[in-house]
Amino acid sequence: GAKFVHVFYHLARYVMIENMKKLSEGTGIPFAEAVMQRPRNMYIVKARHRVAYSKLLQILQREHFVFQEYRRKAQ
């Protein structure tokens, strides 16, 4: 449900940030630091969060639909 998607979104974000930290280490690329900074405009942050959250939800729903179709055709 929605709680699972919310937890999954935060887990994916955490993994992405940790991966960026690991990959940008020693390269002089400040990606990880930019991601971790507090934004000035929280309205834009919340809007981006809603867009990313809804996109993830759409992807998971589409994947669920495809799996159901495969199961239906397999029977």
Q: What is the pLDDT of residues 26-71, one digit of tens each?
A: 666 566 566 666 777 888 878 878 888 888 888 889 899 999 999 9
Domain extent listing, the chain: 1-38, 39-74
pLDDT in the model for residue 52: 81
pLDDT in the model for residue 69: 92
**Is residue 72 over pLDDT 60?**
yes
Identity of residue 48: R
pTM equals: 0.46
pLDDT in the model for residue 33: 62
Kindly give, in sequence order, each residue whose CB lies less than 8 Å from that of residue 5, ignoring residues fewer than 6 positions away: 53, 56, 57, 60
pLDDT in the model for residue 68: 92
